Amino acid sequence: MSPPSKAIVYENHGSPDSVTRVVMLPPVEVRENDVCVKMIAAPINPSDINQIEGVYPVRPPVPAVGGIEGVGQVYTVGSMVKSLSLGDFVIPSPLSSGTWQTYVVKDESMWHKIDKRCPIEYAATITVNPLSALRMLEDFVSLKSGDSVVQNGATSMVGQCIIQLARLCGIRTINIIRDRVGTDVTKEKLKALGADIVVSESQLNEKNFKSHLGNLPEPVMGFNCIGGNVASLVVKTLREGGTMVTYGAMSKKPITVSTTSFIFKDLSLRGFWLHRWMHLEKVKECRKMIDYLIGLARDGKLKYETELVPFEDFATALDKAMGKRGNHPKQVLKF
């Protein structure tokens, strides 16, 4: 049997700050092919919030434990388990629900052993955002060294990964951030990650917006995780025949694209969803990519901001993740 597990559970869909609560779940049986993992850390991603709200296409039956990614250490193994041993560091792969708890029991095949030298805040967050960034850079347009891409929401974790993964292939990035106090500091932070150009939304709304884009070639591809008018800022910088991939909707507004962009630039609008991609029986392929990303994070070649928060402070971390307390790095629960 597993030890009892302290978990963040929701019994109904709704605003996560009102429907989640901490409960002790009773021990569960560790069957012959099962592995019981003591969780070390797990992030609060926007999709976790949407899942609890009940507005995400994937809805685990309630009552459910929150979270879909994280890292833990093997605590006990069933009698038939061959590939994992006590103390191994593992992540759920493919992603699976219920990581916001102290002990998780799943079939051996659901766990992927990772390099222990990767810092836990990266190991806990390596799938949802970095893997999405990698896939989007590779799956839609055949990008070459010297090409440029444009993205909004550049401060997001996906955005930070796009900057660095693009840079590793010689691809230049134009990065749109929202206007806020401390814009200059944010610009410098993104440039330190390798961003070529960082512009605010208001700068791109100016008539002479091109003056802010330096000498980079017009972007062949764009990434949109905000929607609304901020999507149109990506579109207006794309070159003729360019493609914009939408993967998020942080503003909760529909995408606005001018008719003229379609007619005169012949643009393509595409969509990306990691969940759909992972379900194409790509577990093996996916684990190879995760190992690549884990290696980059271990070697300090992939960086992004996180804040490790004790599990007991879940309510505060949730408020921060929901944007109720201003701007904060990705909240990662530490169990």
Residue 70 contacts ligand NAP per CB under 6 A:
no
281: left (phi over 0), alpha (psi -120 to 50) or beta: left
Query: Contact, 176 vs 169, CB < 8 A?
Result: no
Residue 129 contacts ligand NAP per CB under 6 A:
yes
Q: Which of 77, 137 has the CB closer to ligand NAP? A: 137
Sequence-distant (≥ 6) Cβ neighbours of residue 211 within 8 angstroms: none
Tokens for 165, please give them: 């993964």
Q: Which of 35, 66 has the CB closer to ligand NAP? A: 66
Judged by CB under 6 A, the residue of 66, 153, 219, 242 near ligand NAP is 153
Minimum CB–partner distance for residue 186 and ligand NAP (Å): 7
Minimum CB–partner distance for residue 105 and ligand NAP (Å): 26
Torsion angle in degrees (nearest 10) through CA of 236, 239, 241, 243: -60
Report DSSP letters for 194-243, one per residue.
Answer: T-SEEEEHHHHTSTTGGGGSTTPPPPSEEEESSEHHHHHHHHHHSPTT-E
Minimum CB–partner distance for residue 42 and ligand NAP (Å): 13
Q: Which of 101, 132 has the CB closer to ligand NAP? A: 132
* Span near ligand NAP by CB under 6 A; candidates 42-50, 210-218, 232-240, 279-287: 42-50
Pairwise CA distance, residues 76 & 84, whole Å: 10
* Span near ligand NAP by CB under 6 A; candidates 22-30, 75-83, 149-157, 289-297: 149-157
Q: Which of 155, 261 has the CB closer to ligand NAP? A: 155
Residues 220-259 that bind ligand NAP (CB under 6 A): 225-226, 230, 247-251
* Span near ligand NAP by CB under 6 A; candidates 65-73, 100-108, 157-165, 203-211: 157-165
Can 56 be counted among the known catalytic residues?
yes
Amino acid at 56: Y
The DSSP bridge partners found for residue 77 are 35
Of 56, 2, 52, nearest in space to 24 by CA: 2
Query: Contact, 10 vs 299, CB < 8 A?
Result: no
Minimum CB–partner distance for residue 275 and ligand NAP (Å): 6
Residue 132 contacts ligand NAP per CB under 6 A:
yes
H helix runs in the chain, sequence order: 16-19, 46-53, 120-123, 132-139, 157-168, 183-193, 201-204, 228-237, 259-265, 274-278, 283-298, 314-321
Residue 46 contacts ligand NAP per CB under 6 A:
yes
The DSSP bridge partners found for residue 149 are 173, 221
Minimum CB–partner distance for residue 88 and ligand NAP (Å): 26
Residue 320 contacts ligand NAP per CB under 6 A:
no
Question: Which residues are designated catalytic?
Answer: 56
**Footprint on this chain of ligand NAP (rule: CB under 6 A):** 45-47, 128-129, 132, 153, 155-159, 178, 180, 225-226, 230, 247-251, 272-274, 327, 330
